C-alpha cells in the first residue's frame, strides 16, 4: 500500500514539473469525434446541473467585437465544469461528469485550471490490481490530495487527454499575491470590525425594525453565526422578489424546496423511505467491507432515530445503490422528494451565491423608507464587499461593484491606512482577471480538429471564463 501511495504522489508531482506540451496539442486521430450540439448536453441529476450559454451564431452579433485578438472558431463546443476546490463530493462528481462526457464522445480534451503541462497517468492506469488502484485513488480524493479531474485521468474507462492550462509565471504571481493578502487579512478585519460596531450603534435608532432585522440576518450569515438554511427560511417572506423570471433560477428553486420541507410533505413519505432503507440493509450490508458497512449502519441509524430526514436518507441510498450497480425504483412521490432533498443538500453552489449576492441588496432595499435609511444600507453593502475583498471571497459581480467606485469603498472607514493594507488583495484579483484571459486565449489556440473541450476551473474563474465565452460568441455550457 505504501508503495502504491508513494507512486501516486510521485506520478502527479513529476507531471507538475515536467516540460509541458503546448495546451491543445493535437489528440490522437481515433479520439477526435464529430461535433455535437451543445443544446443536447445532459448529465445525471445527481452529478449536478447544466446551464447552456447562448447559441454562438445567434449571440455573436449582439455582443460586439470579440474581446480577444485570437481568431474565432464557432465549430468548437466548450464545456465548463465548475470546481469546488477540496470538497470531496464535488471532486467525485467532477470525475463522474468527465466519465459521462467521455462515454458519449464529448471530451476530446480536458483542460485544468491550476495546473501546467500534460498529465501522464500511464503508470497508474496500467497497474494490474484495479481494485487496489481504485481504493488508493479514492483515499487520496477523500484527503483532498487528488482532484476529480486527476482521478478521472487515472480511474475512468477512457484514457482521455488531460492538460494543465496555466501560464506559470502568472499563476505564481497570483499565488504570491494570495499569500501577501493573507498576511494583511486579520488586521483589515480588525479595523473593519471597529467600524462596523460604530455603524451598528449609529444606525440602530435611524432605521426601521424590519431593515435592522434584515441586516442582522445578512450580517450573521456572512459571519457564519447562522447557516445558509436559516437565511433562506427568513428570505421566504421576500419570495415574490426572487422569482425565476427575475433571474434567480437557483434561489427560486431553493425557496420552493424549503416551502415543501416546511409543509411536512417530505415526512409523509418517511415510511416508504424506511422500507427502502430496510431492503438495502438486508440485501447489501453483508457484502460490504468493514468501512463501508460502518458508514451504511451509521446513516441507517441516524435516519431511524430521526437525526436524518427522509430526503437526506433517500439521496444517500440512491448514491449507495448506484455505486453497486443497483438503480432505485421510485414512485413519482419518492422522485419528487429526492429532487427537493438534492436541492437542499447542494446549496453551496457558486451560482446560488452569485444570485444571493444580487438578491440580498434588492430585498433589503425593498424595506427602505427614507434617503437616510438608503444611505445606511449602502454603507453596510460597501462594508460587506470590503470584508469579502480582504478575505479574497469576492464574486465577479462584487468585484465589478468595487471597481466602479474604489475611492468610495476605501474612504468608507475614514482610515487612510486601509487602502495600503488592501493592496495585496487588489493585486490578487488583478492577477486573477489576467489569468481568466490567459486561460481563455489558450483555449482559443487549440487546434480546430479538437471539437469538444472540457475545462475544469474554480468558481471565480468559471464566472470569468463564461463572460469571455459569451462576449466572443462561443458555443458553451456550464
CA–CA gap between residue 153 and residue 155 (Å, rounded): 6
Query: How would you label 367-403 residue by residue, b for 16+ Cβ within 10 Å and e otherwise?
Result: bbeeeebeebbebbbbbbbbbbbbebebbbebbebbe
Q: Record the cell numbers describing residue 398, joined without a space.
A: 462584487
CA–CA gap between residue 37 and residue 27 (Å, rounded): 21
- Give rounded-to-5 percent helix, strand, coil for the chain: 65, 5, 30
Give the pLDDT score at 274.
Answer: 87
Give the pLDDT of the chain (478 residues) as one tens digit per residue.
Answer: 433 443 444 333 333 333 333 344 444 434 444 446 777 888 887 787 888 888 544 443 333 333 444 444 457 899 999 988 777 778 888 999 999 999 989 999 999 999 999 999 988 888 888 889 888 888 888 887 889 999 999 999 999 999 999 999 999 999 999 999 999 999 999 999 999 999 999 998 899 999 999 999 999 888 878 777 678 878 888 988 877 677 888 888 778 776 666 666 666 778 888 888 888 888 877 778 888 888 888 888 888 888 777 777 887 888 788 777 777 777 766 766 666 555 444 444 567 778 888 899 999 999 999 999 999 999 999 999 999 999 998 888 899 999 999 999 999 999 999 999 999 999 999 999 999 999 999 999 999 889 899 999 988 899 899 999 999 988 899 9
CA–CA gap between residue 299 and residue 147 (Å, rounded): 26
**In terms of DSSP bridges, do strands 162-165 and 109-112 run parallel, antiparallel, or are they unpaired?**
parallel
Q: Record the cell numbers describing residue 104, joined without a space.
A: 458519449
CA–CA gap between residue 110 and residue 124 (Å, rounded): 18
Q: How many CA atoms lie within 13 A of 348 on its CB side?
A: 9
Report the 3 state secondary structure along 264-289: CHHHHCHHHHHHHHHHHHHHHHHHCC
CA–CA gap between residue 406 and residue 116 (Å, rounded): 34
Where does residue 40 fall: left (phi above 0), alpha (psi -120 to 50 degrees), or beta otherwise?
alpha
Alpha helices in 391-422 (DSSP H): 396-404, 406-410, 418-421
- How far the first Cα of the chain sits from its last, in Å, is 38
**What's the residue count for the chain?**
478
CA–CA gap between residue 369 and residue 373 (Å, rounded): 7
Give the pLDDT score at 338.
Answer: 64
CA–CA gap between residue 335 and residue 344 (Å, rounded): 14
Amino acid at each position: 500500500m505504501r508503495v502504491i501511495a508513494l507512486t501516486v504522489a510521485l506520478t502527479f508531482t513529476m507531471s507538475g514539473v515536467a516540460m509541458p506540451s503546448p495546451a491543445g496539442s493535437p489528440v490522437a486521430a481515433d479520439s477526435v469525434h464529430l461535433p455535437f450540439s451543445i443544446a443536447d448536453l445532459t448529465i445525471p441529476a445527481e452529478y449536478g446541473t447544466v446551464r447552456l450559454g447562448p447559441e454562438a451564431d445567434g449571440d455573436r452579433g449582439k455582443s460586439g467585437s470579440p474581446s480577444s485578438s485570437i481568431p474565432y472558431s464557432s465549430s468548437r463546443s466548450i464545456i465548463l465544469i465548475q470546481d469546488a476546490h477540496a470538497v470531496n463530493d464535488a471532486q467525485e462528481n467532477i470525475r463522474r461528469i468527465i466519465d459521462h462526457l467521455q462515454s458519449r464522445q464529448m471530451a476530446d480534451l480536458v483542460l485544468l485550471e491550476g495546473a501546467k503541462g500534460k498529465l501522464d497517468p500511464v503508470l497508474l492506469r496500467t497497474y494490474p490490481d484495479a481494485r487496489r488502484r481504485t481504493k488508493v485513488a479514492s483515499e487520496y480524493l477523500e484527503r483532498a490530495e487528488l482532484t476529480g479531474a486527476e482521478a478521472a485521468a487515472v480511474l475512468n474507462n477512457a484514457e482521455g487527454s488531460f492538460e494543465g492550462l496555466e501560464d506559470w509565471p502568472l499563476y505564481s504571481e497570483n499565488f504570491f499575491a494570495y499569500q501577501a493578502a493573507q498576511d494583511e487579512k486579520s488586521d483589515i478585519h480588525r479595523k473593519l470590525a471597529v467600524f462596523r460596531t460604530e455603524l451598528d450603534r449609529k444606525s440602530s435608532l435611524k432605521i426601521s425594525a424590519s431593515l435592522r432585522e434584515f441586516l442582522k440576518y445578512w450580517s450573521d450569515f456572512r459571519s457564519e453565526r447562522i447557516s445558509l438554511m436559516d437565511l433562506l427560511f427568513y428570505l421566504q417572506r421576500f419570495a415574490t422578489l426572487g422569482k425565476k423570471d427575475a433571474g434567480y433560477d437557483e434561489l427560486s428553486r431553493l425557496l420552493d424546496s424549503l416551502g415543501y420541507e416546511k409543509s411536512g410533505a417530505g415526512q409523509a413519505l418517511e415510511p416508504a423511505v424506511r422500507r427502502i432503507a430496510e431492503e438495502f440493509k438486508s440485501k447489501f450490508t453483508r457484502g460490504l467491507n468493514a468501512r463501508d458497512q460502518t458508514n451504511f449502519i451509521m446513516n441507517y441509524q441516524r435516519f431511524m432515530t430521526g437525526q436524518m430526514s427522509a430526503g437526506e436518507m433517500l439521496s444517500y441510498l440512491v448514491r449507495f445503490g448506484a455505486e453497486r450497480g443497483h438503480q432505485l425504483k421510485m414512485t413519482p412521490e419518492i422522485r419528487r422528494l429526492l429532487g427537493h432533498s438534492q436541492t437542499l443538500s447542494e446549496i453551496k453552489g457558486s451560482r446560488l451565491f452569485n444570485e444571493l449576492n444580487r438578491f440580498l441588496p434588492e430585498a433589503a432595499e425593498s424595506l427602505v423608507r427614507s434617503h437616510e435609511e438608503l444611505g445606511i444600507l449602502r454603507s453596510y453593502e460597501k462594508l460587506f464587499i470590503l470584508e469579502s475583498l480582504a478575505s479574497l471571497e469576492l464574486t465577479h459581480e462584487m468585484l465589478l461593484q468595487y471597481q466602479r467606485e474604489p475611492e468610495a469603498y476605501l474612504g468608507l472607514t475614514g482610515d487612510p491606512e486601509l487602502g495600503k493594507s488592501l493592496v495585496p488583495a487588489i493585486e490578487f484579483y488583478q492577477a486573477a482577471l489576467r489569468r481568466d484571459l490567459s486561460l481563455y486565449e489558450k483555449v482559443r489556440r487549440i487546434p480546430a480538429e479538437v471539437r469538444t473541450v472540457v475545462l475544469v476551473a474554480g468558481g471565480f474563474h468559471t464566472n470569468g471564463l463564461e463572460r469571455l465565452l459569451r462576449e466572443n460568441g462561443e458555443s458553451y455550457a456550464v
